[in-house]
Structure 1
Amino acid sequence: MSVAPPRQAHGSRFRPDIEGMRAVAIGLVLFYHAGLPWIPGGFVGVDVFFVISGFLITGLLLREIAKTGRISLPTFYARRAKRLLPATALVLVATAALTYIVLPVTDRRVFGWDIVSAAAYVANWRFADRSVDYLAEGIGASPVQHFWSLAVEEQFYLVWPILIVAVLLVSRRVGRSPRILLGPALLLVAVPSFLWSVTETGHNPEAAFFATPTRLWELAVGAGVALALPHIRRLPVRHATILAATGLSAVALSALLFDADTAWPGHLALVPVLGTAAVLAGGEVARDAGAGRLLSAQPMVWVGGLSYSLYLWHWPLLIAATAYWNDDLGVGRGVAIVALSVVPAWLSLVLVENPVRFAQRLKSTSLSLSVGANFTAVGVAAGLVLVLVVPSTATDPVSSPPPGAEVVRDDPAAASSLWEVTSAQRIVPSPETATLDVPVSYAEGCQQDQATSNVVLCEYGDGASEHVIALVGDSKALQWQPVLDQLATAHGWRLVTMTKSSCGLYDGATGDEAGIYSSCVDWNSRAVEEITALRPDVVLTSQYSSAALTDPEDSESEATDEGMVAALESRWAKLADSGIPVIALTNNPSPTGEVYECVAENLENLSACSFPGTQTLTAEVQREAARLVPGTRVLDMNDVICPDGMCPAVMGEVLVYRQASHLTKTFVESTKNILEPRLIEALETAAPEVDW
C-alpha cells in the first residue's frame, strides 16, 4: 500500500524544510509535555512556531502585494478562519466533554471560562492574569492552556496586516518600495517588544510567559526574514548550508540546555528564535543540502503538516489522562498519550480541517467569514455549557445562616459529629464556588500581588473612630478581615488593612523563584512607615511563611524557622519600642490537598476529607517570637478550626477551607461570637490604656 505524498495528504503549500522545522517544533513540545527528562527545554518549540508563523504570514502578504498591489484584509481573515477555526471548535467541544467526564467537578466553571477565552483567542491574557492571581492557587493546569500561544499568534495576525496596509498607503504617497518602509515598521514592533520581554521576565516571569507584548518580537523576527528574502537569496549555497545547520543546532541546544527554571522568554529566547530564523534563511537557498535535506525528509514533512492538529489535541488528552491516573501519569504513559494523539489529530485534519479549508463552496470571502464566526460560536457555547451544567450543593435558598463554627461554641463535645451535614444540598459555600468565597478586600484592590511593593491602606469598621487596629500581613491575615470588619463596626473601632501576597510583617527576607523576595522586603519597609504614621492602637498580624533566610541579603543562605523567629522579633520589637503593640494571630493548619474538591467528590462521606489539626510550624514560630517581645500577645483560633485535634471539611453546614490552607469567608464570619471575647481580651492586654 502506497502512502500519498505529503502535499496531497495535508494540503501543504509550504516549503518542505519549513514543514520539517514545524515537525521539530511540535516534537519538542510533545516530548516536553510528555515529561521526557532529556528534553528539559522542549518548551522552545513554541518559540520556533512563532518565528515560522511570522515568516509565513508576512511572506504571504508580501506576495499578495507583489501580485495585486494591495492587501485584502477580509480575504486574509477569511483564509485564517477557514484554516484555524474548524479544528479549534472541534477540539474545544471535545475538551469540554473530557472536562465534564474526567476532571474534578470543582474545576468545571473555571475551565469552562477558559474554553470560552480560548475560542475567542484571548486565552493568553486569562492565563497571564491567573499566573499572578493569588486566589488562583490550587487550580490545576487548564485543558486549554496550550491555546495561549495560538492567541498570541492570532493577535499578531490581527495587528500586523493592518500595519502593512498602513505602510503600503504611505509607500504609495512617498513613492518608495513597501519593503523599504516595512523594515522600520517592523523594528517599531520588535524592539519595544524585546525590551519589554527582558524587563518583564526579570520582574514578573509568570505573566511575561503568556503576555502578547513579550512575544511579538519573536513573530517579528520571522517577519524580518521574509522581508529580507531578496537579499538572502544572494547567499552562496555553502554559506546558506552552514547558516541553516548552525540555526538547527541552536534550537536543539536550547531544548537540551534550558529547563523549567530558566527565566523565559527574556534574552535567552534569542537562541532558539535566531536559530529558527537562520534555518528559514539558509533553507531558502540550500533546500537540498545539510539541514535543508534533513528537514525535507518525507516523515518530517508529514509530521509538520500535522503539527497544528497535534498541538491542539495532545494537551487536553494529557490533562484528562493525568486526572484519570490521579496525577501519576509518568513518562511512559505520557509518551503513550502523545503518540495516541496522532489518531484524533489525523482524523480531524482529514475529516474537518482540509474539507472546510479547500471547499469550493467556501470560495466566497463573506461566506468563509460567516462559517468562521459560527465555529467560534460553537467553541464559546461549549465553554458556556460547561459553566452552566455545574451542579451545586447549595441550590436551595438559605432561609437562615448556617451555624458554622457556632456548633463548637454551643456544644464543644459535638466535634465528633461535625463531619456530616443536615442535607447534601446544604453546604455553604458550595464546593463548586468555594474559591469565590473570599474577603471583599480582593475585589477592592487591597491585597497586593507578589510583584508589587506598594502599600495600600483600606479602611473598614467605624471610619470615624479614634481606636485603630491595623491588620498587616499576607493572605492568612486578610482572610480574617470579614469578621474583623463586623466586630470593628459593632464596637466602634477603625480597621485598617495592609496586606501583600506571601509576605508577612517581618524584618528579614524569604526566597522566591528569582532569589530573594525583594518586593516583600521593600513592602515591609514601606508598611512600617505607614504603620508609624498611622499610629494604630495595636497591630494584628498573621502569615503563612515559617522560615526566613539566615542572611537576608544572600539568596543562597539557608531558610530556617530560627531565621523567621529572629525576623519577627526584630520587626515586632521595633514597633513595640514605638509604642505600637502587636497581636499575633496564629496560622491555621493546612490540609494536604484541596478540601473543596474532596467534599465535592465525597458528599456522602465527608469524614474522608478531614485531616489531623497539628499545630503549624508557623504558629510555633509566632509564639516563640511573641515570647521574646514583651507586650506581644498571641491570638489562637485553631481549637475552633480543628476541635479535638481534627479539622473537619464541613462544620455546621459551612465549608471550612476554600483553597490550599485558606478559610472560606463564610466560615470566618461564623466564628464571630467565639473570636469576639478572645480578641477583646488580647486587645485589653496588649493596649490596656485604650477603652475597648
Structure 2
Amino acid sequence: MIGLALNSQTPPKRHYPCMNPNTQLPFQPDIQGLRAISILLVVLCHANLFLFGGGFIGVDLFFVISGYLITGLLLREHQGSGRIQYARFIGRRLKRLLPSLLAVILATTVAASFVLSGFELREQMGSLIYAITWTSNLFFAFSDADYFAELASKDLFLHTWSLGVEEQFYLLWPLLISLIGSLGITGHKPSVVRFLGFLFFTSLALCVYQSTQNSLYAFYLMPMRIWQFSLGALVYVIFQDRPLTTHSTLMRLAALLLIGLSSILFSPEIGYPGLWALAPSLGAALLLATSGSNTPSAFLSHPLLRWIGDRSYAWYLWHWPFLMLGPSLMGGSPTLLMNLLLAAGALAASALSYRWIELPFWRGPLSQAAPGRTILVSMLAMVVAASAGLLQINARTPPSTDPVQRVIAQARTDLPEIYSAGCDSWYYNAEVKACIGGNPSADQTLVFIGDSIGAQWYSALADIYGDGQWRIEVYTKSACPIVDEDYFYPRIGAVYAVCKEWRDNLLAQLKTRRVDTTIIGSSGTYDFSAEQWIQGSARILKTLSKISNQVLIIAGAPELSKDVPGCISRTYRNDPKSLATPTNICTKSIADTQAPVVAGYLAKSTGLFPNAYLLNLNDLICPNGLCLSLSEQGIIVYRDSKHLTDSFVRSRVPEIRARIQQLLASAGTDTAPPSD
C-alpha cells in the first residue's frame, strides 16, 4: 500500500480551465506574512499579553492557509498527471513536519525530567505518545482535557493538538480530491465549489452544534474543524486564477481588522469555536483571495514577517515548552516580561532548528528519499522517540524512591468518598441524585449541597453528624455554584444550563419536605458581580430557609496561585530541609484572594434571613491571614490550587464541630450537632 497512487478516470496531462496544471504553486510572499501574524497571535496569547487574550485564533488562520495550499498542490498534481500519488504526498508531509516535531519532543522530555518533580512529569507529559503520533487532539478531546483549564493547560504537549488536526486533514484530503477526480469534475469549477461548499457547511454545522453540546469535541476534533480547511480550499478554487484586485488594499485592511479585533475581543468565555471562529477564518480567507494579485501587500510581504513566517512551524513547536518550563528554570512565578523573554528564546531555538533540522529534511539532500522508505523510517522514528521518551520519564519517576515524594503525589487523589461513590454527575446530566450517609433511618436530616469546593467539607460533616442520630443527604455537582445565577462554564464553552436545571430540580424537590439543617457551599471564584453574589445567594436561601430549621453557607476556600502538590514537590526536591518551615513554602496571603470579599457578600445574604448563617472556616486554612500549603501538623492542605485535601479537612474536625455548635447555640437552635 505504501506505493499506492490514487488513480482516477481522468486522462493524464489534460489542461483544465479551472486552474493551471503546473504542480508547483507560485511563491506568494503574502502567505508567509499571514503565517507570521498567525504565530505571533498564538505566542502573544500564550505569553499572557493582555491585549491579545484571543490570540488562540492564530491556529484558525493556520487551518485556512493549509486548506488553501494543500488543495492547490493536490489539484495541480491531479490535473498534471491524472492521479494523486498518496504515498509521495504523505512522504513529503512527513519530511517537512516530523523531524522538527521529534526534536522538540525529545528536547522537552529531557529538560522536563530535570525541571519537574516525578509526579509532575507524569501529569504534564501524559500526551507524549499521542503528540509523537499526531493524535494528541484525540487524547485531549476524549480525556476531558480543556485547553483553557488549569491542570490540562500545563500539559507540555497541549499545543500539538492542532498538529494532530492538520495531519489528519493531510491523510483525508488527498482521498477527497481523488474522489473529485474519479467523478470527473476537477476541471469544472462550479462542481468543485459545490463539493467543497457541502463540506464547509456540513462541518460548520457540526462545529456549532458541538460547541453547545461538547465544546471539547468542537475544539479538538478534525470533523468539526474541516470547514476551515474547506474555506481555504474554496478560496483557492475560486480565486487562484483571478484573485481579487479591485480595492484589494481596502479588503486587506478589512481582513486584518477582522483578525485583529478577534484576537483582542475574543476569549474562552465566548464559547469558542462555534460561529465565532468564522470571523478570523473569513479574515484569513479574504487575505488569501487577494494574495495572488500583482500588488502584494507591502505589510504582509515585509522581510521581517516573511522571515518569521518561514519559521512559524518551528516557533509554534518550541514556544509552549519554553513558556511551561522556563519559569522554573529562571526562578519565580511567570511575569509578562519573563514570558516575552522566553518567547524570544523559543524564536531563537526555532531559527536554529529551522536551519539545521527542518530545511535539510524538507529541501536538502535528505528530502530525496523515496516515499516508501520515508514512511517506514518515519514510523520507526516515532516508535523509537516514544520509547526513548517513556524510558526517560520512567527513569526520573521510579516507584518507591522517596517516601516524601510519594506522599506528595498522593495528595492529588486525596478526595472525599462521595466521588468514588459516584455522587457527582458533573456536566453530563441534570439528574438529582442523593448520596445517603449517616443513619438512613434517623429522625433528624442534614441536607448538604455544594459544588466541588463545597463538597470538599463532606468528610468533616459526616464525622460531626455521624453519631447515628442524623440522616445525611448529599447533593453535589462540580463547577455548579449554589447561587441562582447563570454561569458560563469555560470547560464546556457555554452557559452551564445543566447546572441551572439541576439546581432548580433539586430546590423543587426540597420544597415538598421539611429538614432540620441544610448546609451549602460553593467556590468563591465564580465571575459574579457583588449584586449577583448577594441576590443570587439570597434567592437560594429564600427557598431553603422555609424548609429548614437553619441554613449554613460555608464560605468558599481561598484559591492559591500555584498548584500546591507540584510546588511542594519541587521545593522539597531542591531543598529537603525546606519542609521543616511550612510557612515559607508555596503560601499566599488571603488578602490577595477573592475569598474575604465573597465571604462579605455571603454575610449580607445570610443577614436577610433569621435562620441563615455564614460558616467561615477560612482562618483554619489561612491562620493569621497566610494560606498554607502545609499545615502545622505537616498535612498537605490543597490537592491542586483550589481544592482542599480530604486529610486536611479531617484533621480540622474538632475546630469545625466547635464552630458549628457555637454558631447554632448563639442562634438558640436545638438541632446543633452532637458533641465529640
What SS is found at the alignment partner of 2:481? coil
C-alpha deviation, 1:585, in angstroms: 3.7
What SS is found at the alignment partner of 1:374? helix
C-alpha deviation, 1:644, in angstroms: 7.4
Structure 2 residue 481 is matched with structure 1 residue 504: yes
C-alpha deviation, 1:224, in angstroms: 1.7
Partner of 1:52: 65
Partner of 1:575: 544
1:565, 1:274 → 2: CA distance? 42
C-alpha deviation, 1:542, in angstroms: 1.3
Partner of 2:18: none
Partner of 2:287: 279
Amino acid at match of 2:450: G
What SS is found at the alignment partner of 1:152? helix
C-alpha deviation, 1:474, in angstroms: 1.5
2:149, 2:525 → 1: CA distance? 22
2:545, 2:52 → 1: CA distance? 54
2:326, 2:549 → 1: CA distance? 55
Structure 2 residue 260 is matched with structure 1 residue 256: yes
1:25 to 38, 54, 73: 38
C-alpha deviation, 1:478, in angstroms: 1.6
Deviations along 1:15-59, one digit per CA (max 9) or x if unpaired, are 233344434433444455556677676544322211111122222
Pairs within 5 Å for 1:661-680: 661-671=642-652
Deviations along 1:192-241, one digit per CA (max 9) or x if unpaired, are 33234445657887875545454321111012233336xx52x3xxx733
2:258, 2:369 → 1: CA distance? 42
Amino acid at match of 1:278: L
Partner of 1:313: 318
C-alpha deviation, 1:528, in angstroms: 0.7
What SS is found at the alignment partner of 1:605? helix
C-alpha deviation, 1:101, in angstroms: 3.6
| 1:188/1:533 CA distance change after superposition, 3 Å | farther
Structure 2 residue 111 is matched with structure 1 residue 110: no
Partner of 1:405: none
C-alpha deviation, 1:683, in angstroms: 10
Contact 1:247 1:275 in 2 (8 A): no
Pairs within 5 Å for 1:246-645: 246-262=250-266, 263=270, 264-284=272-292, 286=293, 288-291=294-297, 301-323=306-328, 324=330, 326-331=332-337, 336-357=341-362, 359=365, 363-381=369-387, 383-385=389-391, 387-389=393-395, 395=400, 425-426=403-404, 429-430=407-408, 432-439=409-416, 441-442=418-419, 446-447=423-424, 454-461=430-437, 465=441, 469-482=446-459, 491=468, 495-508=472-485, 520-532=499-511, 538-545=517-524, 558-560=529-531, 564-579=533-548, 581-591=550-560, 593-600=562-569, 601-602=571-572, 603-606=576-579, 607=582, 608-609=584-585, 616-619=596-599, 621-622=601-602, 625-626=605-606, 628-632=608-612, 641=621
C-alpha deviation, 1:87, in angstroms: 0.8
Contact 2:465 2:673 in 1 (8 A): no
1:656 to 637, 654, 657: 637
Amino acid at match of 1:147: T
1:75, 1:531 → 2: CA distance? 66
Contact 2:41 2:263 in 1 (8 A): no
| 1:496/1:67 CA distance change after superposition, 3 Å | farther
1:16 to 28, 31, 34: 28
| 1:41/1:622 CA distance change after superposition, 3 Å | closer
1:144, 1:117 → 2: CA distance? 9
2:45, 2:638 → 1: CA distance? 34
Partner of 2:13: none
Contact 2:465 2:674 in 1 (8 A): no
- Name which of structure 1's ranges 675-684 and 470-479 shifts more when overlaid on structure 2: 675-684
Structure 2 residue 246 is matched with structure 1 residue 242: yes
Contact 1:508 1:548 in 2 (8 A): no
| 1:268/1:461 CA distance change after superposition, 3 Å | closer
1:149 to 145, 162, 167: 162
Q: Which runs of 5+ in 2 are unaligned?
A: 1-23
Amino acid at match of 2:376: S
| 1:204/1:368 CA distance change after superposition, 3 Å | same
Amino acid at match of 2:415: V
1:218 to 222, 228, 232: 228
1:179, 1:493 → 2: CA distance? 75
1:244, 1:104 → 2: CA distance? 54
C-alpha deviation, 1:253, in angstroms: 1.4
C-alpha deviation, 1:368, in angstroms: 1.6
Partner of 2:17: none
Deviations along 1:370-391, one digit per CA (max 9) or x if unpaired, are 2222333355346535643555
Contact 1:581 1:687 in 2 (8 A): no
What SS is found at the alignment partner of 1:304? helix
Amino acid at match of 2:285: A
Deviations along 1:651-682, one digit per CA (max 9) or x if unpaired, are 44431211223211333345567767887999
What SS is found at the alignment partner of 2:244? helix
Contact 1:106 1:433 in 2 (8 A): no
2:607, 2:40 → 1: CA distance? 58
What SS is found at the alignment partner of 1:59? helix
C-alpha deviation, 1:151, in angstroms: 2.0
| 1:568/1:372 CA distance change after superposition, 3 Å | same
Contact 2:146 2:216 in 1 (8 A): no
Amino acid at match of 1:437: D
1:375, 1:258 → 2: CA distance? 39
1:679, 1:689 → 2: CA distance? 7
Q: Which runs of 5+ in 1 are unaligned?
A: 1-11, 397-423, 550-557
Amino acid at match of 2:321: P
2:589, 2:290 → 1: CA distance? 63
Calculate the TM-score normalised by the size of structure 2. 0.76
Report the number of matched residues. Answer: 628
Contact 2:154 2:324 in 1 (8 A): yes
1:47, 1:249 → 2: CA distance? 19
Contact 1:509 1:516 in 2 (8 A): yes
Amino acid at match of 2:232: G
Amino acid at match of 1:306: R
C-alpha deviation, 1:91, in angstroms: 0.6
C-alpha deviation, 1:130, in angstroms: 8.1
| 1:141/1:148 CA distance change after superposition, 3 Å | same
1:135, 1:246 → 2: CA distance? 35
What SS is found at the alignment partner of 2:524? coil
Identity of aligned residues (%): 28
Partner of 2:107: 94
Contact 2:38 2:61 in 1 (8 A): yes
1:315, 1:222 → 2: CA distance? 26
1:547, 1:38 → 2: CA distance? 23
1:25, 1:691 → 2: CA distance? 63
What SS is found at the alignment partner of 2:332? coil
C-alpha deviation, 1:147, in angstroms: 1.9
Deviations along 1:239-275, one digit per CA (max 9) or x if unpaired, are 7333654553234213432345414444454343233
1:190, 1:444 → 2: CA distance? 44
Contact 2:423 2:435 in 1 (8 A): no
1:43, 1:644 → 2: CA distance? 41
Amino acid at match of 2:200: A
Partner of 2:172: 159
Deviations along 1:567-608, one digit per CA (max 9) or x if unpaired, are 434422322323575343444455454433442214422321
